[in-house]
Amino acid sequence: MRQFVALFLLTGFVVAAEQPGITVDWDKTIARSHTELTIQVCPEPPLRRGYPIHDQLWKALRDMQSNVARIQFWHPYPRLGVAELEPPHDGVTSWDFSLIDPLVLDFVAAAEGRPVMLNLSTPPQWMYRTPLPIPYPRDPDEITWKYLQSTELRDPSLKEIVDYYHRVASWYLKGGFTDELGKWHASGHHLKIAWWEVLNEVEQEHDVTPEQYNAVYDAVVEDLHKLDPGLKFSGLALATPALGAEYIQTFLNPGKHKPGIPLDMFSYHFYAAGDFDETPEMQQRTFFHMADKFMATVHYVESIHRHLSPQTRSFINELGSFSPETSGANQPIPASYWTLSGSMFAYLYPQLVREGVDLIGAAELIDYPGQFAGATLVDWVTGRPNARYWVVKLLRDNFGPGDALVQTGSPSQAVSAQAFVTAKGEKKLLLVNKRDREIALALPLSANSRSRLDYVDPTTGFEPPRSTVLTGNLVTLRPQGVAVVTLQP
C-alpha cells in the first residue's frame, strides 16, 4: 500500500510525500501471548546500602512491577554471594550473611509481593578439588575473576553441596539453620520465594557434563522441595544455548532425572555484542544479525522443549547486549548504543512471544566499567534508567499474557512491525526502526485518526517514553526508535 498524503513528523513538521505502508489483518490471529517481561538483577556494589545510587536502583526495579524478577549472585564478588567462604575448622564455621542479607531483603521489598527467583549460583570454592586454597579479596567490592578454579566437587556424593543450599534456603525461608557443628543460626527470615534456580551458566561457570548437572539439580531440588513443597525450580541458565542442545535434551527428558523431580522451568541467555573495532554504524547491522541467529536457536530449543517436556516453562532470563566501550571516560559508550540495544530488544520481543517463550528477563539492572558496562539498564553514576530500561517498560506497560498477535506486514526490512489485540481489547501496533536514520511510514489508520503514539528514541534519552497524538495516518520513526501506537476507536 502506498499513499500520497500529508506526513506528520514527531518534530511537528508536515510534508507531502509518498510513503510505504504497514498492513494489518486484525481478523487473522497468528499467535496468542503467554509471555511476561521481567528483569535480571546481578548483585554488585552500587546496590549495597549506603551507596550513592542505592535508592535509585531499587526504585527502578520496583517501578518495573515485574513478576519473577531474578536475582543471581555470581562469582566475581565472593563476599557478596557466598555465605560460607571457609570450611569448618577448629570447632567453628564461617557462616556470614551480613553482606548478602541486605541485597536479598531489598530485592524482595522491591518486588512488593510479586513472585521472585533466587539464584545463589556460586557454591563455596572450598567444596571443589584444587591444589591450594583459592584466595578471595578482603574488600567485598573488589572484582575477582579467579574464584572459580575447579569443577570437580570434593564430595562426589553431593551431600556437601546439598547441605550448603539447604542451609542457605533455610536461612531465608525457615528462620535459620543448624550448621555442620550442630550450632543454630537464627535469621528471623520467613521470606516468600517463588522460584529457586540451581546454578548459573552451567556449561561455563561450572563446566559440568549434562549428566553431572542433572545429578546436582536432582539432589538440590529433592532436598529443597522437602524443605518447602511450594517452591518451584529452574535449571540450566545456559550461557550458550546454540551450543547447548545436549544440556537441553538431557535436562528436559524426565527419564534422565530421579522419579518425582519437578521440571518446572529451564532457562538460557543471549547477549548481542559488536567487535572492538566496529563503529556504531556497523553495530546496528551486527546486533540485528545476531538477533536473527538467536531466533534460529530459540526455534530449535523450543522445538526440543515442546517435544520432551511441554509443561516445563521457558525463561530467557538474561537478554541484553554488550558494548566493547567499557573502560569508562576514555572510551565512553555512545548514546546511540542505548537506543540500538533497546530497539534490538523490542525487535526480539514479538518473535519470542510467537515462539511461546514464557518469560523474558531484561539484563541487567546495574553494570559499570569493568563489569560489562554495556549490559546496564541504568546509568552507573546517576542511577537514572537509560533507553534500554525505558524500552522494556514501554513493552511491559503495553503488552502481556492474553494478547493476540495478528497478521502484520512491513514494507521495509529496516522496520519491524507487529500488531496486537491486547487482553483488554485494545488495538496496538509495535514499530521498531532497526536503522540509524529516520524512516517514514503510512499506518493502517484513517486520515482523521487521533491515535496515541508512545515512543523511545534518541530524543528521549534518560527520560520515560514520550507520548503524542497522531493527527493522520503517517509517522516518522527516528533512528533506532521504538514506538507503540494505540489505535482509537
Q: How far is CA 38 from the centre of its chain?
A: 7
Residue 207, classed as helix, strand or coil, is coil
The class (CATH top level) of 2-30+406-486 is mainly beta
Domain 34-398 fold is: TIM Barrel (3.20.20)
What single DSSP character describes residue 334? Answer: P
Q: Quick check: 450 and 488 in contact, CB under 8 A?
A: yes
**DSSP output for 365-406:** S--BTTB-GGG-SB-TTT--B-HHHHHHHHHHHH--TTPEEE
Rg from Cα positions in the chain: 24
Q: What is the pLDDT of residue 331?
A: 66
Distance CA(422)–CA(420), nearest Å, equals: 6
Task: Give me the residues of the chain with pLDDT under 70, please.
Answer: 1-19, 325-331
Q: Quick check: 248 and 266 in contact, CB under 8 A?
A: yes
Q: Quick check: 452 and 436 in contact, CB under 8 A?
A: no
Among the listed residues 187, 481, 228, 240, the one whose alpha carbon sits nearest the alpha carbon of residue 343? 481
Residue 148, classed as helix, strand or coil, is coil
Q: Where in the chain is the domain with CATH 3.20.20.80?
A: 34-398
Q: Quick check: 475 and 440 in contact, CB under 8 A?
A: yes
Q: Which residue has the cell 550513592?
A: 52
Distance CA(350)–CA(432), nearest Å, equals: 11
Q: Where in the chain is the domain with CATH 2.60.40.1180?
A: 2-30+406-486
Query: What residue type is 393 in one-letter code?
Result: K
Query: What residue type is 404 in one-letter code?
Result: A
Q: Which three cell numbers stand for residue 91?
A: 570447632
Residue 297, classed as helix, strand or coil, is helix
Among the listed residues 91, 161, 153, the one whose alpha carbon sits nearest the alpha carbon of residue 120? 161
End-to-end CA distance of the chain: 22
Cis status of the peptide bond prior to 205, with omega within 30 of 0 = no
Q: Quick check: 79 and 120 in contact, CB under 8 A?
A: no
Q: What is the pLDDT of residue 150?
A: 85
Q: Quick check: 371 and 363 in contact, CB under 8 A?
A: no
Q: Quick check: 374 and 361 in contact, CB under 8 A?
A: no
The secondary structure element, H or E, covering residue 419 is strand 415-421
Cα 471 to Cα 422, 450, 488: the distances in Å are 23, 5, 12
Residue 488, classed as helix, strand or coil, is coil
Distance CA(2)–CA(17), nearest Å, equals: 10
Q: Which three cell numbers stand for residue 28?
A: 487473522
Strands (E), 100-239: 116-120, 176-178, 184-186, 195-198, 232-238
Distance CA(458)–CA(476), nearest Å, equals: 13
Q: How far is CA 219 from the centre of its chain?
A: 27
Distance CA(248)–CA(30), nearest Å, equals: 27
Q: How far is CA 232 from the centre of its chain?
A: 19
Distance CA(94)–CA(86), nearest Å, equals: 6
76 C-beta neighbours (distance < 10 Å), count: 20
Q: What is the pLDDT of residue 466?
A: 98
| 319-334 burial: b if 16+ Cβ within 10 Å, else e | bbbbbbbbeeeeeebe
What single DSSP character describes residue 133? Answer: P
Among the listed residues 162, 163, 160, 130, the one whose alpha carbon sits nearest the alpha carbon of residue 147? 130
Distance CA(79)–CA(61), nearest Å, equals: 23
Q: How far is CA 392 from the centre of its chain?
A: 10
Distance CA(409)–CA(398), nearest Å, equals: 20
Q: What is the pLDDT of residue 18?
A: 54
Among the listed residues 271, 227, 45, 264, the one whose alpha carbon sits nearest the alpha carbon of residue 142? 45
Backbone angles phi, psi at 19, to 5 degrees: -120, 145
Distance CA(341)–CA(377), nearest Å, equals: 10
